[in-house]
Structure formats: structure tokens, C-alpha cells
Amino acid sequence: MSFTQSVSTHSARQDFLEAPLDRAHAESLQRQLYQRLKEGILKGQLAAGSRLPGSRALAETLSVSRNTVTIAYEHLISEGYVRADRKGSTVAALMRPVQREAQAENNAPSRVALRLSRIRSSPARSDTSTALRPGVPSLSHFPLAVWRRMLDRAVREASPAELNYGDPFGQAELRAAIAAHVARTRGVHCEPSQVIVTEGAQEALMLCVRLLTNPGDTAWVEDPGYRGAKAAMHAGDLRIVPKRMDEEGLHVGAADWRSRTPRLIYTTPSHQYPTGAVMSVARRLALISDARKHGTWIIEDDYDSEFRHSGEPIGAMQGLVADAPVLYVGTFSKTMFASLRLGFLVMPPRLLVSAQDALREMLRGGHSHEQLAMAGFIESGQFARHLGRMRRLYRERQHALRGALTRHLRVPHIIEGGQGGLHLAVRLPRDFPDARIAEAARQYGMAPMPLSSFAMAPALEDNGLVLGYGNTATELLDPLVKRLSQLVLTAGG
């Protein structure tokens, strides 16, 4: 017989289609036919766009029931190999899989999007030594036994419904506990409905970029500044413009605002990361006012402000004036522990109205037991107790670190920061290259970060070390700094 479709002469295609099926085979006839057609499509024997024979005709040719052909066709249609329309069944246009030989030849790394190739990871990211590493809280002081009780209780008391997707914005109990906590400790003005629980500050930063920017928009960042924020902005294909700080924090003036208006400004006003500068109230008010005038959003990353050691406590920018154009980002990575991956974003009410539909589709909620345990930890007063203990410990450690630097560091240096947080920045003369010192320190299990690695456009004074004291035992600080000071001298020699 001849098919009325695209094949009119006897051809390889026809041979392929008409070859009898094996009735003795363990696979059913419909399965064999499905496999044959699928293979033919993948290998290009059945060309994209060509029509398959009608089910009645093919059934006759193969001496099988029409049902056998129909089921095989339906299977192919459901998997997208074949398209069905009123006239019959057509082979879909598929990308043919690359041949194995060709794959083996191509050992080049796969290309990622250009915007991601702009993100550079620091070598220290992958090593596990934590002595002097900035940003790590004291892991051995975390009250694990209390936390375990909170988790047990959360699992015991939660209903089976808690095993389903959570509220995309987070567990109501935790959102309420966060809203009350940041109001009390940071002067943040918000309703629980404005709080979105995130997977650490990093997810909050990524969300800000996704919600507020289009590729190519301009963002201002502090320079030197937090690498995670820049990674989030690169991933959003933003044009990142570095801005300098002085002793009053981020310094932008009328000339900056006259150039391309930023869509976003990222800042760590209460404890600049990594220099430790604190933005003055005058600067905060000016920034809010200018941002409002230009339709710019400010991301306030308040990552470690719970640990204030000296100076006047300054509340968050978010609560400084009513309806500030500020998205407030917080994290439990410093106050609890980083692997908990809990942070939060406080949205301005008018932004929440426009963004909530998109957010509800983009987020999935989850980690409900951890979120409920965290809410219990805050509400029971355990969180405040832990913070109080840690504040005393970090004050003591910072004091020990300063003492050790004074005793051992024999090159001119300036210690910066220290009003709060878990790290100090030590600026060094540029003939003592910071990257070389940090590299040498890794051989001794220390992980200070080179100050220059935080800068997009490093200035001469951006040579130095960022030293974390959060997770380094007080009694180790002196011998470690002694060793580090020797490495500084060697690097300069």
C-alpha cells in the first residue's frame, strides 16, 4: 500500500515504518511501535514536520489493531514527539541530542550567562578554617540544647498541615515575632504583614533586585563593600557603581545624583561592611530625602547591628522617618548560626501592595518547623538572653584582638570599626600586600580577608585585613595575631 501523506515512493522511511513488529517479543506491540517511532524521530529518520501515516493505514500495514497504533501515537503526542492537528499527526521539531563523540571532544567548561561570569569568588570561600574569619559568630557558644528543645516542641505541636508548603511569606508566628523584635531593638516600624521570611539575607537581596530592577539599571554600592550584595546585583545584570565612604559612612553628594540616577542603593549604615563605619544621622536623612526625590530604593542591610559595643546606638534608617523608601534586610546568620538560613525582608507597605502577587508566586515557604522554633526562641526570651551573652563575649574578644594588635603588629596601621559587630578592619601600608598576607595566613589555619578583595575600584588605602573575632577563642587571639604580624612583615619584605 502507499501512504497518501508525504511519502509517495517506496523509501527508507517506508521500510522503517512498515517492518513487521515482533509478536514473540516481551514488549507489547504498542510499546514496540512507540519505541520505533521515538527512535526514528530522535535519529532524524522521521523528519521534523513530516506526517505520520494515518492510524488505520499503519495498522493495516503492520497487521495490528488500530488501537495499538492509536495508543502509540497518543503516547508520543503526550511526550511532545508528535503534534496532532485536524489533518493527522506530524513529527515535532526537536533539537536532536548531541552525539556522544561530539560531547567527549568538547571539554570546554559550559558557558554561563555573561552576567554571572562577572562574579568572582574569593579563594577563602572554599577553605574551612575559621580563625579570624570575618562574619562568623561563636559557634561553640550557641545554646544547642535549648534550640533542640525548641525544635522538638515545634515538631510535636505542629499539625500535619505544617508538612505542606508554608505561607510563601513565612510562618505567621515568626513574622510577628520578628516585627516585634526589630521594633524593640532597632526602631523599625512595621506590621507583621510587611515581614517576609527569607533564606538568609542573601535571598532577601536577590528578591530586592528581582522586584525593583530591570537589567541594565544602575545600583550604587559601598566600596569596599559586601560581596554578596554585588553578586545579587550581577545576577540581576545591573550596572553597579561603587561609592566611597568616609568617617560618616557612605558619601554621595549632589554631583552623584546628577549623574545616572540609581534604581537601588545598597548600604550597611549601622556597621559598614567591612570598614565598620557608622553612617551619621545627618547622612541617613539626606540619603532618604534624595532617594525619595529621585524614586530610588534603599536596601538597608542591618546584618550585625544587634552587637553594639560602644558609641550612641543609632536606630535603623527604616524607622527614621515615616514611609522611608527603605527595604530593611535582617539575618539570623550572626545572631544564631549561618546554616539555619533564616533572614527577613521588611517591605515598605506601598511596595508590598504592588509586589505581593508576584512574591506569592515566586516564593514557596517551607522550613516550617525551624521557623516555628525560631519564633518560640524569640518569644520565650531565649533569643534576648543569648544576644546579651554574645554581646559580652564579642566585646571581650574585640578588646583582646585590639590588645594583641597593639602588642605585635610592628608596621604602621590604622584600626577601623569596632563600635559593633564581629570584625575589625586594619589598614596597612600598600607595600604589605593584603592578598599575599591572607594567602600565607591560610597555611596557618587563619582566614583573615584582604580588604582590597571587597573593593570594585580599590584605592591605595584599601590595603589591609578584615579580622573576625566572633568565632576565635579569646585566649588564641594573642598567639594568632603574633603569627599574623610576622606574616605581614614577611609579605612586605
Ligand X SMILES: Cc1ncc(COP(=O)(O)O)c(C=O)c1O
How far is it, in rounded angstroms, from Cα 413 to Cα 430? Answer: 11
Phi, psi of 191 (to 5 degrees): -90, 155
Q: Which residues fall within 8 angstroms of residue 172, CB to CB, at 6 or more apart? A: 192
Rounded to an integer, what distance in angstroms lies between the CA atom of residue 98 and that of residue 104? 10
SS3 of residue 400 by DSSP: helix
Instruction: State in angstroms the smallest separation of the CB of 373 from ligand X.
Output: 17
Shortest spacing between CB 318 and ligand X, in angstroms: 15
Q: CB of 228: closest distance to ligand X in angstroms?
A: 6
Binding mask 434-473 for ligand X (x = CB under 6 A): ----------------------------------------
Q: C-beta of 343: minimal distance to ligand X in Å?
A: 4
* Min separation Cβ 342 and ligand X, Å: 8
Q: Does 200 bind ligand X (CB under 6 A)?
A: yes
Backbone angles phi and psi of 219, in degrees to 5: -130, 135
| CA distances in angstroms from 55 to 22, 161, 175, listed in the order given | 19, 48, 59
Could you tell me the smallest distance in angstroms from the CB atom of residue 271 to ligand X? 9
The only residue of 202, 305, 318, 371 in contact with ligand X, by rule CB under 6 A? 202
Options 92, 321, 338, 359; binder of ligand X; rule CB under 6 A: 338
Q: Across the chain, how many H-helices and E-strands are there?
A: 17, 15
Q: Give the footprint of ligand X on residues 249-308 (CB under 6 A).
A: 268, 273, 301, 303
Looking at the Cβ atoms of 107 and 126, the one nearer to ligand X is: 126
CA atoms of 92 and 370, how far apart (whole Å): 47
Measured from the CB atom, the residue of 51 and 234 that comes closer to ligand X is: 234
- What's the closest the beta carbon of residue 331 comes to ligand X, in angstroms? 3
Residue 33: half-sphere exposure toward Cβ, Cα within 13 Å: 29
Q: Of 64-72, 306-314, 330-338, 407-415, which segment contacts ligand X by CB under 6 A?
A: 330-338
Figure out which of the listed residues 343, 348, 448, 450 binds ligand X, where binding follows CB under 6 A: 343
d(CA 470, CA 188): 26
d(CA 180, CA 184): 6
Kindly tell me which of 58 and 336 has the beta carbon lying closer to ligand X.
Answer: 336
CB 135 within 8 A of CB 470: yes
Write down the least CB distance from residue 348 to ligand X, Å.
Answer: 20
Name which position in 40, 53, 54, 135 contacts ligand X (CB under 6 A): 135
Q: Which residues on adjacent β-strands are paired with residue 427?
A: 414, 464
Closer CB to ligand X, residue 40 or residue 421? 421
Given candidates 333, 398, 419, 452, which one binds ligand X under the rule CB under 6 A? 333
Q: Which residues contact 182 (CB under 8 A, 6 or more apart)?
A: 188, 190, 316, 328, 330, 346
Interface segment toward ligand X; rule CB under 6 A; list 54-62, 200-208, 347-355, 467-475: 200-208
In the complex with ligand X, which residue's Cβ is closer, 62 or 233?
233
| Lookup: cell for 103 | 560531547
Q: How many alpha carbons lie under 13 Å from residue 189 in its C-beta half-sphere?
A: 12
- Minimum distance of ligand X from residue 133's CB (angstroms): 10
Q: Given CA atoms 397, 400, 405, 408 in this order, what sign does their dihedral have? A: negative
Question: What is the nearest approach in angstroms of ligand X to the Cβ of residue 51?
Answer: 55
Residue 181: how many CB atoms within 10 A of its CB?
20
Task: For the chain, give the longest Cα–Cα distance.
Answer: 98
The residue with cell 545600583 is: 219
Nearer of residues 338 and 440 to ligand X, judged by Cβ: 338
Among 30, 331, 398, 463, binds ligand X (CB under 6 A): 331
- Among the candidate windows 7-15, 199-207, 256-264, 458-466, which touches ligand X by CB under 6 A? 199-207
265 φ/ψ angles, rounded to the nearest 5 degrees: -125, 130
Closest CB 302 distance from ligand X, rounded Å: 9
Distance between CA atoms of 113 and 272, rounded to whole angstroms? 30
Nearer to ligand X, 172 or 338 (CB): 338
Count the residues of the shown chain that bind ligand X, applying the rule CB under 6 A: 14
In terms of Cα–Cα distance, which of 334, 304, 322, 340 is closest to 417?
304
Phi, psi of 46 (to 5 degrees): -110, 110
Cβ neighbourhood burial of 369 (10 Å; 0-12, 13-18, 19+): buried
Neighbour count for residue 12 (Cβ, 10 Å): 9
Query: Between 343 and 348, whose beta carbon lies closer to ligand X?
Result: 343
| Span near ligand X by CB under 6 A; candidates 26-34, 150-158, 194-202, 212-220 | 194-202
Q: What is the identity of the amino acid at 387?
A: L
Question: Nearest distance from residue 120's CB to ligand X, in Å?
Answer: 17
**CA separation (Å) from 386 to 136, 282, 410?**
16, 33, 37
Residues 204-243 that bind ligand X (CB under 6 A): 226, 228
Closest residue to ligand X using C-beta atoms: 200
Residue 309 CB, shortest distance to ligand X, in Å, is 17
One character per residue 377-416, x = contact with ligand X (rule: CB under 6 A)? ----------------------------------------
Q: Which residues bind ligand X (CB under 6 A)?
A: 135, 200-202, 226, 228, 268, 273, 301, 303, 331, 333, 338, 343
